[in-house]
Amino acid sequence: MAGTQSPVTHDAWRAWALRVLWALGLLALLQVLPVWAPLQRLEYDLLASLTAPVRPDVGALVVGLDEPSLAALNMSPPLSRRLHAQLVDAVSAAGAAALGIDMLFAAPQTPEDDAALALALQGRLPVVLATAEVAVPSSQVAQYRQTVPSVFPHARFGSVAVEPDGDGVLRRAPGHDAALWRVLAQAAGRAVTPPPEGALLRYYAPELPLPYAHYTQALEPTRMLAPGALQGRVLLLGQNTPVDGVDQFATPLHVLGAGTQSGVLVHATVLINGLAGDWIRPAHPLGPFLQAVLAVGVVAALTRRWRGARAAWLSAVLALLAVAGGWWALVAGLWWSALPTLAGLALHFNVGAADSYWREHRRREQLRADFARYVPPAVVDALVAEGAAPALQGERRVLTLLFSDLAGFTAASERLPPEAVAQALNAYFSRMTHTVHQHGGTLDKFIGDAVMAFWNAPLPEPAHAARALACAQAMQAEMVALRAQWAGTPFAQVQLRIGLHTGEAAVGHLGSHERFTYTAVGDAVNTAARLEGANKAFGSSILLSGATRAALPAGAPEHAHLLWLDTVVLAGRSTGLDVYTPCDDATLVATSQALHRHLQAAEWAEALVCCAQWQAHAHRQAPQWAPHADQLQARVLDLADAAAQASATPPSFGARALDK
């Protein structure tokens, strides 16, 4: 029917609705968590710092009682009020419009000093003194505050109280009528724009400092300042020396590395904001949230069927637009947070990604269940990672291959019932399978009592040769435990022979659509199988090719434990290859490797010396290698005699052909 929705469409809409509801629900929850306010403050600080404009010239100037002034006066705070009186008279004479003094005069000085400043305060120049409230401990009234009394009660006063946020950063404008900046502007006859409710301060580019004069310059403006420098200006006098952090405030500029600002500079910033009408008005909290809802809705509508890449770039575009909008709004004097939009988009993307992950996870687990019964676990993992059913094809890859076989098992099994043979094989295969998997190998197949495994497929393994060699040695250790378990049975004398070879092979899913297996084929596979059989010729339990030794990492400790045995031509091959076996006799290993080098260089005398050393050491400490040393010595003697008689082409050490 035309009006019927398919199950797939229904599921897509259901997933879409859940994604949107989860994202918006988490966003609403996030905004009531304690982490939200610090994040918004950080956003505001970053934007306020990056958009800090050039300060408008509204005729304000700071007179700083700073280190250079104190050094020039050779004094330390508090200064004599007689000196302050001189400054008031000097700036009045220089044509200043008004002076605000960001200092508390709570304690009297000498009568002469106090009288001098009192007289100056009654002069032509309007002067506004600072007042502040302090907390007074009380057992009866909570948070009782009292205004600090001044020794000049008849002067004009303005409050210097400010309210930093919980993180200690001063962002909000002091908007009360008795604020120092408002009283000072009124005294100077300047019109101000009152800050709107909840107004935030606009800080200006720190690389362009406020108009400033040192205290000593203001004492003698006609001599130390340019003509007319103070004419008509509104002055703010205050201490600009960081004394134990007193009267120092952190500002939003701290996120870009700016330090604290003295109180007098903060009040000057507030004064400029008021004179220029440069306040920042916060938007209604519902506005940014609705913008976030709209952004999430847009992305969700365009990614109804989840596509991670599309959702990512759409979210990035809308996030950039939100940040750009917030940037433009702040420049225009409106604090419009982009954080709800950024958080909403991030939550929507993560909810969508999580939902997609779990859907994919369930699909892959189904794929694992389908193939784990007859494909090795490593192959299953590779199939799950690919997310698709395997193709019937192979790829060329360098592998280290392992073949193992039980010598004497067939003869021993002839003396036991089939049930006992099956039980013994199960115990053997269980141990060998566990050992191969423990060393990261892929168990290819069981062939009778033989085991085939390889490394570096399906997943890359840089240390494939080292891991295969370690596995072979661990398999021999497991075989010791098995023989102890089989004590008293014909299997107690069974020996495990292992061949290792490294080379290129075709590896992949081979077979038909009805039945396939993950396996490796090629000459390298045959060589590994031939090396397993070649153990019989040397009386060894593990035989590895020179290619496997060369594939070990340079400087690996395994190099010092590999005994060179011979250069051989295996059955079915036309070229020779060096063969090695693990050996813990360091002297014998070093001797064998020196012998190999001399033979390759046709240095027969030196090779004979090495043979003699091998023989002597083998007869004393490694008798199992004595017959092999005798055989090598006989071959080298023949080569040395042939070299002595040769007149043209000297002989070379040739590979020994093996029947198996």
The answer to which of 272-281, 384-393, 574-583, 647-656 has the lowest mean pLDDT is: 384-393
- pLDDT bin (cut points 50, 70, 90) of residue 473 is very high
Instruction: Determine the length of the chain.
Output: 660
Query: Got the DSSP string for 343-393?
Result: HHHHHHHHHHHHHHHHHHHHHHHHHHHHHTTTS-HHHHHHHHHHTSPPPS-
**What is the per-residue pLDDT across 319-340, written as a single tens digit (0 to 9) for each?**
999 999 999 999 999 999 999 9
**What is the per-residue pLDDT across 202-218, written as a single tens digit (0 to 9) for each?**
999 887 788 999 999 99
- pLDDT bin (cut points 50, 70, 90) of residue 16 is confident
pLDDT of residue 77: 85
Residues 6+ apart with CB under 8 A from 533: 405, 497, 499, 571, 660
pLDDT of residue 134: 64
Average pLDDT over the chain, rounded to an integer? 87
| Across 537-560, average pLDDT | 93
Q: Is the pLDDT of residue 4 over 50?
A: no
pLDDT of residue 306: 77
pTM to 2 decimal places: 0.56
Distance of CA 477 to CAs 139, 263, 640, Å? 81, 79, 41
pLDDT of residue 140: 52
| Across 516-544, average pLDDT | 92
| Across 256-279, average pLDDT | 91
**What is the per-residue pLDDT across 128-156, written as a single tens digit (0 to 9) for each?**
999 987 655 555 544 555 677 788 988 89
**What is the per-residue pLDDT across 181-202, written as a single tens digit (0 to 9) for each?**
999 999 999 999 999 998 999 9
pLDDT of residue 241: 82
Q: Which two tokens stand for residue 491?
A: 């299997």
CATH classification code of 391-552? 3.30.70.1230
pLDDT of residue 519: 87
Are 69 and 218 within 8 A, CB to CB?
Answer: no
SS3 542: strand
| Across 645-654, average pLDDT | 75
403 beta partners: 452, 499
Q: Is the pLDDT of residue 383 over 70?
A: no
pLDDT of residue 660: 56
Which residue ranges make up each domain of the chain?
7-48+283-360, 57-277, 391-552, 585-660
